[in-house]
Chains A and B, each alone.
Chain A
C-alpha cells in the first residue's frame, strides 16, 4: 500500500534529479568536442578519464600542441579555487550573521508586546520577495548615486569594488534570508515552557545568563537544523550575485560563486561543466555529511519533535 503511494514521487524525482545527475557524471568523463590540436580537425570528444576534474581541481589546461599545462589566468579553469573560496566566504559570513540576527529576531517575536503581530507580518515581506527582485532592489540601493551612498555620504562602488561588492551581496542576502532563519528559531523557542524562565527570574539570573544557560541549550536542535539548511542553501548561491554583480567586482570574479562558474562554463563545454557541477554537488554533500556527523544533527527527528511540541 505505502509503496504504491510513494512510488509516483520517487519515480518523478528519479526522472528530474536522478537522470540528470547520472548523465552529468557520465559526461564529466568525456572530452568536450573541439579542434584537435595535432590535426586541426574537429573532433567530437571521446573518453577523457579524469582530465575534466584535473582541469578544475589542478588547473590543468591543454595548450595548442595538446600538452597539459597550467591554466592561464582568465581561463575559467583557473577560477575554480577562487570561486570555492568566495562561496565558502559567503556561506560562513551570511550564515553566521543570519544566525545571530535571526536569534535576536526570534527572541523579540517570542515576547508578548503590543504590535507583535506587525513584527511577525513585517519579517515575512523580505522572505516573500523573489531573490531576483531582491537583487535588483539592492542593485538600485547600492548604485553609485543610490540611497546607500547618499545616506552615508560615501562614494563606494558597491557593485564593482572587490570587497564592497562582496559586502553588498552579504547585506542583501542577510536582509532576504534572516526572516526565514528567525521563523525556524522561533519555532524552537516556543517549545520552551514559560515556567523555566520564571524559575530563572526568581533565582535572579541576568538576561544574558538566562539566554546562555537556558535558551541556547534548549533551542540547539532547532538552531542546528536551521543552520544546516542555510549552509546548504548558501553553498549553491546563484541568483543574488548573478544579478547584483554578475559575479564580477574587483578583477572580474570577486563574487563568482561555484554556481556562477558552472553557468559560465555551460556554453563553453558541457562535459567540463558537468565535471564542475559534480564537484559542486560533492562539496555540498560532504559539508552536509560532516555537519550531520560532527554535530549529530538529526534533521528528521528534530523536526518530528518540534511538531509534537507545537501540537501539545
Chain B
C-alpha cells in the first residue's frame, strides 16, 4: 500500500510512547524479550505482576483494535511448522543471551545511543538479511 510508511510512522510513535510511559512511569526499559524472559526463567519474578499486566496490554489492545481497522490483520506466517519452531527457538535463545530484542536493544537502546543497542541491532538485522538471502534466494526453502 502507498500509505504503509505513514502507518509505520504512526505505529512507531505509539510504540515509542509506550516505551516512554514504561520508562518515565515505572523506571523500566520496555524490552519485550526481557519482560517475557524474566517470567520464563523466573529471573524477574519479583516484578511478575507488572510484567503480566504489560503483556496483557500488548495482547488485548490489538484484539480490540482489529475490528476497527480498515485493513486485514494477518501475520502471513509461513505454514511450515519446522521453520516456525526453529525460528521461535532461535529468537528465544538469541534474545535472552543478547539480553534484548527489537524493542529493548532497538527502540530503547538506539534512542539513548547505547553502544550495545546499536551493535546488537546492526547484527540482528544483518543476520536476518543473510538468513533470507541464503534460504530464500540461495536454497529457495523459505
Whether A associates with B in a native complex is no
Chain A residues in the interface with B (C-beta under 8 A): none
Chain B residues in the interface with A (C-beta under 8 A): none
